[in-house]
């Protein structure tokens, strides 16, 4: 159990059998009445964010999440296969379990899979990935009417905006949180 007074960003709690991660919290002490804690919680299964208010000192169940480093092997149909880098066990996850991170998965990539009571919850892709550009328009010198960027399709079929000088075959670094181009590798 954890007290609402001990909340911190990133802590995972169990409310009525549903796992939530604390995204934001604020202790409030009004002039009249008792103190309370206002929180924003992200559902680990669906990704939805809710707001919930707890009384000061209210106890909730803390959920312990285990992060295992695993290597992405391959995908077939809607199943994605990962291998534990320690004991070589393999698990399959569906596209819905992986979520938005699916567009950054490349064969052989090492990622973290989140487990709670030996049940896979989701995937934590690296913040930065290096991928090859497989399709983009040619950029013309002086063509900045569109803001100096153009669409590019990467080897994982993800599409992002890149600068005009990026060409087919270039390997680029992308920030997966904001989905923006960082630099050419």
Residue closest to 154 by CA, chosen among 138, 123, 130, 184:
130
Q: If pLDDT is split at 50, 70 and 90, which confidence band does 140 have? A: low
Q: How far apart are CA 153 and CA 168, in angstroms?
A: 9
pLDDT for 142 equals 61
Q: What is the pTM of this model?
A: 0.70
Q: Say if CB 172 and CB 158 are below 8 A apart.
A: no
The secondary element (H helix, E strand) that includes residue 113 is strand 110-116
Q: What is the pLDDT of residues 56-115, one digit of tens each?
A: 889 999 988 888 999 999 888 888 999 998 898 999 988 877 878 888 888 899 999 888
pLDDT for 144 equals 58
Reading the block at residue 24, the tokens are: 């934001």
Q: What is the pLDDT of residues 9-53, one digit of tens each?
A: 888 899 988 889 898 999 989 888 889 999 999 888 777 889 999
Reading the block at residue 171, the tokens are: 């390997």
**Interacting residues of 136 by C-beta distance below 8 A, sequence separation 6+:** 150, 151, 152, 153, 162, 166, 167, 168
- Alpha helix locations (H) across the chain? 95-98
Does the structure show a pLDDT above 70 at 143? no
Domains defined along the chain, listed by start = 2-62 (2.30.30.30), 66-124 (2.40.50.140), 128-184 (2.40.50.140)
pLDDT for 73 equals 92
Q: How far apart are CA 173 and CA 127, in angstroms?
A: 10
């Amino acid at each position: 159990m954890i007290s609402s007074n001990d909340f911190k960003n990133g802590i995972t709690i169990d409310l009525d059998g549903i796992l939530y991660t604390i995204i934001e919290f604020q202790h409030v002490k009004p002039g009249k009445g008792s103190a309370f804690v206002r929180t924003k919680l992200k559902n680990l299964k669906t990704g939805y964010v809710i707001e919930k208010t707890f009384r000061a000192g209210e106890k909730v169940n803390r959920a312990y999440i285990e992060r295992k480093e695993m290597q992405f092997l391959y995908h077939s149909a809607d199943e994605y296969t990962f291998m534990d880098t320690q004991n070589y066990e393999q698990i399959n996850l569906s596209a819905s379990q992986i979520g938005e991170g699916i567009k950054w998965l490349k064969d052989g990539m090492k990622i973290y899979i989140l487990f709670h009571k030996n049940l896979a919850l989701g995937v934590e892709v690296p913040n930065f990935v290096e991928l090859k550009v497989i399709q983009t328009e040619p950029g013309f010198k002086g063509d900045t009417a569109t803001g100096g960027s153009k669409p590019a399709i990467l080897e994982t079929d993800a599409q992002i905006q890149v600068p005009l000088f990026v060409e087919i075959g270039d390997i680029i670094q992308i920030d997966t949180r904001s989905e923006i181009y960082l630099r050419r590798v």
